[in-house]
Amino acid sequence: MSRRYAILGTGAIGGYYGACLQRAGADVHFLLRSDFDVVQQQGLRIDSPEGNFVLPQVHAYQDVSTMPVCDVVVVALKTTQNHYLPQLLPGVLKQDGVVVLLQNGLNGEPRVAEIVGSDRVIGGLCFICSNKVGSGHIRHLDYKAIALGEYASDYEPKGITKRLEAIAHDFEQAGVPIQLTPDLMQARWRKLLWNIPFNGLSVVLDAFTDAMIGHPAVLTLVEDLMWEVVAIAAAYGRKLTRADIDTMISETEAMQPYRTSMKIDYDSKRPLEVEAIVGCPLQMAQAKGIPAPKLAMLYQQLLFLNHENVGEV
Amino acid sequence: MSRRYAILGTGAIGGYYGACLQRAGADVHFLLRSDFDVVQQQGLRIDSPEGNFVLPQVHAYQDVSTMPVCDVVVVALKTTQNHYLPQLLPGVLKQDGVVVLLQNGLNGEPRVAEIVGSDRVIGGLCFICSNKVGSGHIRHLDYKAIALGEYASDYEPKGITKRLEAIAHDFEQAGVPIQLTPDLMQARWRKLLWNIPFNGLSVVLDAFTDAMIGHPAVLTLVEDLMWEVVAIAAAYGRKLTRADIDTMISETEAMQPYRTSMKIDYDSKRPLEVEAIVGCPLQMAQAKGIPAPKLAMLYQQLLFLNHENVGEV
C-alpha cells in the first residue's frame, strides 16, 4: 500500500480500522488524546471474533503538528468533536490528499469541505459493532463493512472515482469489505433510516435493539419514524422504500441484542450525536416543509436527556 | 353530616380525604388491602403542612361484603384497578346512593355507570399533592381542592344538582375546597391538558416538573402535546384555549419541584395509568380523525416503559 494514512480519533472505529490497515502493511499514523501514553508504550490491542491481535508499535501522536502529511486522513471522531476539525485537518492533509469522514448523520462533509475544499472529501458509513474497552484496547464484536462515496457540493451524486477505488482497495487488502456508492447522500439517508429510530429510542427508552423491536408499540414507533425519514429523503430526491424498512427491521431481528452507539455514549456520559443524527435531518425536513412530528419529539427528548446527562444545551 | 361514606382505596387520595371527612364528624368506612392490619390496629396518620393529625380508630374493612351500605361511595383506586369495580360497588352502594369517582382520565365514569347506572355517578378531579409514605400513613404536601361534576351518558353536561351541592358541603365542612362543574368532561379535558404532558414525560424523561419546564425543548414539547389535547377536546365540543395552556405553565412554574403521580407509580414499580391518561384520549382523537402524533408517540413510549417496569403489556 503506497498511501500514507492518518487516523484522527483512535477509538472504536478509528482504532479498529487503523489497526487493520497497519496489520495489512499500510503506513498509518494515529492521533490520540487521553490514550496517548498507553498506546505510545504498548501499541494497540484488538479483540475480535475473527482473531485477536496486537500491534506492539504504532506511530502515535498527541499533537497534529508533529504528524507527517498524509494521503488519506481518516476522520473517526464523534460528530460532537467536529469543531476541532479546522485545527486538525490543514496540517496533516497532503496537497493532493483526501479526507475520509467515517461518521453518521448528514452535516459532516460540508463542514470538512469548508476546511479542505469539496473536491477533497470522501464520506464513509461504517456498519460495525465495535467498542473501546480500555486505553488502546478495542473490542470488535460484529460486522465491519464500510460504504464509501465521493462528496460534492450539496451532496450532488459524483459517481465512482479512481481515487475512491484505490482507497477501497487498501481497505479490502486490510480485510474490510467496501461498498462503493455513487450517491453518498442516498447512502447517508439509508443509514439514518436505522440510526434515527434505534439510536434515538435506545437512549429515551433505555433499551437494547431486541427489546425495542420485540415490543409491538415500539416497533410501530420505529416504523413511524422510518416513514418520516423516507418522506424527508424523498424531498431531497432520494428514494427509500417499504423494502428498505423491512430489510432494516429483519436485519435488526437477526442481530444479537445490541446497545447502540448513542446509548453507549449516553451510558458513558459522553455528549450524544444528537445534531448529526436527529437535529440535522429535522432541520432538512423543516426547510422543505415536510411534517416530521415524531422526529421532532425525539429531538426534543434527546436534547433534554443529553443536557441532563452531560450538561450541554 | 348525615351521609355515610365508603372509601374504596385508602391511599394518598382516599386516605387523605376520608380522614378529613371523619375528623369533621362524618361516618366513614375504609376499604383496605395490604394496610388493613396496621390501620385496624393503629388507625390513620396524616402529615400535612396544615397540621398533622391521627385518627386512632377508623372503620377498616378488608372485604367489601362486610361493609355497611353507604350513601356516598368514594372510589379512590388507581384507574389500573378499575377491573375490581364490578365486585366492589354493588354491595356497598345504597339504593339511592351515589358513587364519587376521584380519578384522572376519561374512561372511569362510563365503567362505573355500567355497574350502578349512569344516574348514580359523580366524577371528581383532585388537585392535590399527596403521597402514601407507609401503611396507614399519608403525607399531604400541598393543595387539596376537588372539582366535582355530575356524570350523564356520553358525558352530556348535566348542570349542578342538589345532590352534588350536598356532597360538596360535606367536603367543605371537612376543609376541602370544592369547585362544582356543570360539565364534567370539560373539567376532565382541562385536567388532561396538564396530566398528559407532565405525567407522561416525567416517566419518559425521568424528570421532575421544574426540570421539564426549565428546558426550552421540553417546554415546547409540553406545549405541542397541549395543543394536540386542545384539538381533541374541541372535536368533542370542549373549548380549551391558549389562556388555559398559559395558566397551566405558569402554575407549574410557581409549584415546588414536583414528582408526578405517574412517576411515583413508575418508581414504585406500580402499573402506570397509561390508558386513562394517554390511551383513552388518543383513541378519542383517532375516532374523530384528529391528528395527534406526539400523543401517539408518548403512548407508544409509555406502553414500553410500563411493560419493562412491571411486565404488563
- Contact of A224 with chain B, judged by CB distance below 8 Å, is answered with yes
C-alpha cell at A189: 439517508
- Contact of B293 with chain A, judged by CB distance below 8 Å, is answered with yes
Quickly list DSSP for B173-235: HTT--EEE-S-HHHHHHHHHHHHHHHHHHHHHTT--HHHHHHSHHHHHHHHHHHHHHHHHHHH
- Contact of A303 with chain B, judged by CB distance below 8 Å, is answered with yes
Chain A closest-CA separation from residue B281 CA (Å): 17
**Using a CB-CB distance cutoff of 8 angstroms, which residues of chain A are in contact with residue B218?**
300-301, 303-304
Cross-chain CB nearest to B307 (options A215, A221, A307):
A215
Domain boundaries, chain B: 4-182, 186-310
Size of interface A-B (CB pairs under 8 A): 77
Q: Indicate the pairing of strand B137-150 with strand B121-134.
A: antiparallel
Cross-chain CB nearest to A217 (options B205, B221, B304):
B304
**Cβ contact A221–B297 (<8 Å):** yes
Cross-chain CB nearest to A300 (options B220, B299, B303):
B220
Average pLDDT, integer, range B28-34: 97
Can you give the pLDDT at residue B50? 96
Is pLDDT above 60 for B313?
Answer: no
- Contact of A179 with chain B, judged by CB distance below 8 Å, is answered with no
Is pLDDT above 80 for B312?
Answer: no
**Using a CB-CB distance cutoff of 8 angstroms, which residues of chain B are in contact with residue A206?**
308
> Which H or E run contains A192?
helix A184-204
C-alpha cell at A134: 480500555
Task: Quick: pLDDT tens for B265-300.
Answer: 999 999 999 999 999 999 999 999 999 999 999 999
Q: Are A79 and A108 in contact (CB under 8 A)?
A: yes
Note whether B4-182 and B186-310 share their fold.
no
**Using a CB-CB distance cutoff of 8 angstroms, which residues of chain A are in contact with residue B210?**
none
**Cβ contact A205–B301 (<8 Å):** yes
Task: Quick: pLDDT tens for A115-143.
Answer: 999 999 999 999 998 989 999 999 999 89
Task: Quick: pLDDT tens for A163-204.
Answer: 999 999 999 999 999 999 999 999 999 999 999 999 999 999
DSSP state of A239: -
Can you give the pLDDT at residue A1? 77
Can you give the pLDDT at residue A312? 67
pTM for this prediction: 0.94
Q: How many residues does this entry show for chain B?
A: 313
Q: Give the chain A residue nearest B305 (alpha carbons).
A: A205
**Cβ contact A307–B215 (<8 Å):** yes
Can you give the pLDDT at residue A311? 86
Is pLDDT above 70 for A260?
Answer: yes
Average pLDDT, integer, range A46-75: 98
For the domain A4-182, what is the CATH code?
3.40.50.720
Average pLDDT, integer, range B195-211: 98
Half-sphere exposure at residue A36, Cβ-oriented, CA atoms within 13 angstroms: 10
Average pLDDT, integer, range A77-89: 97
- Contact of A220 with chain B, judged by CB distance below 8 Å, is answered with yes
**Using a CB-CB distance cutoff of 8 angstroms, which residues of chain A are in contact with residue B305?**
205
**Cβ contact A211–B293 (<8 Å):** no
Task: Quick: pLDDT tens for B119-145.
Answer: 999 999 999 989 899 999 999 998 999
Q: How far apart are CA B198 and CA B17, in angstroms?
A: 24
Is pLDDT above 70 for A313?
Answer: no
Q: Does domain B186-310 have CATH number 3.30.420.40?
A: no
**Using a CB-CB distance cutoff of 8 angstroms, which residues of chain A are in contact with residue B301?**
204-205, 217-218, 221
Average pLDDT, integer, range B256-264: 91
> How far, in Å, are A28, A58, A115 from residue A93 at the CA level?
13, 19, 11
